[in-house]
Chain A
Amino acid sequence: MDKLKLIIKREYLAKVRNKSFIVMTVLSPLLIVGMIAVVVFLTRMNSDQKRVIAILDESPYFGNQFITGPELSFLDLVDLDLETAKDSVASMGYYGLLHIPDGKDITDITEKIRFYSKSSPSMTVTGMLESRIGKRIREEKLEALGVSQQKVQELASNFEMRTATFSGERSVKGVNELKAAIGGAFGYLIMMFIIIYGAFVMRSVIEEKTSRIIEVIISSVKPFQLMLGKIIGTSLAGITQFVIWIFSASLLGVVVFSLMGIQWNELNSRTNLPPETMDTINQAAASNEIVQIYMTELFKIPWFTLFISFIIYFVLGYLIYSSIYAAIGAAVDNETDTQQFMLPVIMPLMLAIYVGFFSVFDNPHGPIAVGFSLFPLTSPIVMLMRLPAGVGADGVPWWQLITSIFLLMLTFIGIVWFAAKIYRVGILMYGKKPTYKELYKWLKYN
């Protein structure tokens, strides 16, 4: 036990004192916060600089349609012929010119409407112009059919489906997705951790092999102790890094955003939806009732079970994968030889994430979701996505959760045994690029 502690300590310190590790730990939050700040800053700059669109309206229909908004400002040109208008718009450096000629009726006019600009206009601009013109055409046609403006407004119906469960509780749309996203965040965390720190374990094994210190060490400790100590030490370093990241990123975030005067809600609500739609959404969100339903749904997530399961799946999943990484590191002489073994390791992880996002979001208790949440190599990620939907009668059945953890444990024992064997033989093999067949042979060595 003392020796294991020594190994863990060395591996931890070796990792934490490593220059690139320190640089990564310090720089990553700066980079991430900096990037978000730059994106926000650029978006604001972009939108601060309003696009000016000149309008040459010769028709009687569109008089009040083009009101300067947050993204576009409009400039009416009066009594100019088209060519002069084009010239002056170009020389003034405006974004474009919308020409609405006169015609016999609105259908005729709309066919003649043209937008002139220096180069092809952006989708946002044409989209906004189209929606405004389209709205006006519809109004005009309705009026021609004898429907008055007032009636049109009465017609407007913002229907939203209200949903309820059979037991009569009100439910809200999107809550399943929200829950799966919470679980997905945990699952994603596990995957990232495995990929980053599993590779660290692998590199550290390769380093011991290439520096030829391995034989000295395993004449003092069992190879399994060394492997275990290395995995634990590296993951402790990883957890340290994660904790530092979370703290410093949130701290930095608060500082930077308050300095730049960016409001959080500004970040959230900045979308390109037309103002009308925004209004409806805001109205809906403002309605206290719905917020409350979301809150109760969030409270209904079995946080405690979720948290405990996260720890279990995290520890077992990480140990399984990092011992595979250790075995790969032991089997090869340098990092370039690892390629052939990496794909089968990364694949289940990727599969889990994709299955999670495409299938579990949609149907958390469907057969695919159940299958992948039982299969040990994907269960740490997929099961965590399912869990927020609850455990028990209307959520993940208990037997599935227990079977999944049980299978994961069996796999853990099997894989670690298997990896330890490969590791033990591999660390003393030099100069060979092993094949799968060779690895299979190693398993039979005493």
Chain B
Amino acid sequence: MTDLLVAENLCKWYGDYLALDQVSLTIPKGSIFGLLGPNGAGKTTLIRIINQITHPDEGRVLFNGTPLNRNHIKNIGYLPEERGLYKSMKVGEQALYLSQLKGLSHQDAKVRLQYWFDKFGISEWWGKKVQELSKGMAQKVQFIVTVLHEPELLIFDEPFSGFDPINANIIKDEILKLRDKGATVIFSTHRMESVEEMCDHIALLHNSKKILDGKLSAIKQAYKSNTYEIGLKHQQPEGLKTELAGLLTSEAVSFQVFEEELKLRVALKNGLGSRELLAALNERAELVYFKEVIPSANDIFIQKVNEQRKEEHGQA
């Protein structure tokens, strides 16, 4: 069994609005799975179904091979995007209450909380009321409560919002450590740089449909467009352009003079490789640098969503 969670053909209606349309996902054990998509794409609905907060109208979810049921609650830790704490309750009591609701005993919860509070250096907050804490402080407490019962599956919805860069890094490291210990992480975010850094698998939702999923590295390979970034010592960009015209596609060509240097961003015609381009350039100029452009997750996200929008407009 290598897949922790399998979603099959999930559909969810809110009245007349279709929030999820035949969405299927496979989340491998031990992965950090990025769930991406514009606002309103259906990410939160999907996450709520996994948390059994709502139930799908069609389709099913398998957790470790068995259909999702209430016993799985204690195996899941969820940090929602809209998160908060009881304002007038003391931090320690509140953390104890929330972890007991996840099924930990009072004793266990206390021991583990002390460990985490020590680790984050926040032990002196134990007796404070939540309303005395800053937003970032409260977020730390929420993070601890999410991971405290050591669930197999962790779901983070925009985990870094509200953290300063230093604390965001601490949280990021903790998430990676938890993954190394065997947890699987679902990571829903708009921040593409953290997707790049952390995720090994992604799925892209748009307008209630899944439009892309798979291993991030494989997706990147599939989406690279034979584009190269080159620096040259050359004085006549226009001349060079015409000379290279036979190799290049008309799209994605840019020539830019930068002091002594000419910066090129070019896309090759199908069937041609870096070898042909290099050979052609070597004859004409002195090469400063040469690299293949691998699309970022951000690029893929934007490209894919735009394609989808065009398609829908075409239909309409």
A binds B: yes
User: B14's contact among A207, A219, A221, A445, by CB below 8 Å, is which?
Assistant: A445
Cα of A217 to Cα of B80 in the assembled complex, Å: 10
User: B76's contact among A7, A208, A212, A219, by CB below 8 Å, is which?
Assistant: A219
Residue of B nearest to A221 (CB): B101
> A216 contacts B53, CB within 8 Å?
no
Q: Which of B32-83 touch A at CB < 8 Å?
A: 48, 51-55, 57, 73, 76, 78-80, 82-83
Q: In the complex, what's the smallest C-beta–C-beta distance from A41 to chain B, in angstroms?
A: 39
* B289 in the interface (beta carbon within 8 A): no
User: B84's contact among A213, A221, A445, by CB below 8 Å, is which?
Assistant: A213
Which residues of chain A have C-beta atoms less than 8 A from B98's C-beta? 216-217, 220
Which residues of chain B have C-beta atoms less than 8 A from A212's C-beta? 80, 82-84
* A3 in the interface (beta carbon within 8 A): yes
Cα of A437 to Cα of B84 in the assembled complex, Å: 30
A211/B101 contact (C-beta < 8 A), A444-B15, A446-B55 known: no
Which residues of chain B have C-beta atoms less than 8 A from A208's C-beta? 86
> A14 contacts B89, CB within 8 Å?
yes
User: A446's contact among B48, B57, B80, B87, by CB below 8 Å, is which?
Assistant: B57
Cα of A213 to Cα of B87 in the assembled complex, Å: 10
Q: How would residues 311 to 322 of chain A score, 1 for a CB under 8 Å from any chain B CB and 0 otherwise?
A: 000000000000
Which residues of chain A have C-beta atoms less than 8 A from B85's C-beta? 211, 213
> A6 contacts B101, CB within 8 Å?
yes
Q: Which of B95-122 touch A at CB < 8 Å?
A: 97-98, 100-102
Q: How would residues 335 to 346 of chain A score, 1 for a CB under 8 Å from any chain B CB and 0 otherwise?
A: 000000000000
Cα of A211 to Cα of B82 in the assembled complex, Å: 9
> A218 contacts B53, CB within 8 Å?
yes
Cα of A14 to Cα of B130 in the assembled complex, Å: 13
Which residues of chain A have C-beta atoms less than 8 A from B101's C-beta? 3, 6-7, 217, 220-221
Main secondary structure of the interface of B (DSSP, over half): loop
> B78 contacts A219, CB within 8 Å?
yes
Cα of A216 to Cα of B73 in the assembled complex, Å: 12
* A430 in the interface (beta carbon within 8 A): yes
Cα of A209 to Cα of B122 in the assembled complex, Å: 27
Which residues of chain A have C-beta atoms less than 8 A from B97's C-beta? 6, 10
* A428 in the interface (beta carbon within 8 A): yes
Which of A18, A216, A218 is most buried by chain B, counting CB atoms within 10 A of its CB? Answer: A216
Which of A217, A219, A441, A446 is most buried by chain B, counting CB atoms within 10 A of its CB? Answer: A219
> A213 contacts B100, CB within 8 Å?
no
Q: In the complex, what's the smallest C-beta–C-beta distance from A216 to chain B, in angstroms?
A: 6
* A215 in the interface (beta carbon within 8 A): yes
* B175 in the interface (beta carbon within 8 A): no
* B145 in the interface (beta carbon within 8 A): yes
Residue of B nearest to A442 (CB): B15
> B13 contacts A446, CB within 8 Å?
yes
Q: How would residues 1 to 24 of chain A score, 1 for a CB under 8 Å from any chain B CB and 0 otherwise?
A: 001001100100010001000000
User: B82's contact among A7, A10, A207, A430, by CB below 8 Å, is which?
Assistant: A430
* B188 in the interface (beta carbon within 8 A): no
> A14 contacts B82, CB within 8 Å?
no
Q: In the complex, what's the smallest C-beta–C-beta distance from B48 to chain A, in angstroms?
A: 8
Cα of A441 to Cα of B16 in the assembled complex, Å: 10
Q: Supply 16 A–B pairs (Cβ within 8 Å), ascending by A.
A: A14-B86, A14-B89, A207-B86, A211-B84, A212-B83, A212-B84, A213-B83, A216-B145, A219-B53, A220-B73, A220-B98, A221-B101, A441-B15, A445-B14, A446-B12, A446-B55
List residues of chain B with CB under 8 Å of any chain A CB: 12-15, 48, 51-55, 57, 73, 76, 78-80, 82-89, 97-98, 100-102, 142, 145
For the complex with contacts A207-B87, A430-B82, 9 further pairs of A-B residues with Cβ separation under 8 Å are A211-B84, A211-B87, A212-B80, A212-B82, A212-B83, A215-B83, A428-B53, A445-B15, A446-B54
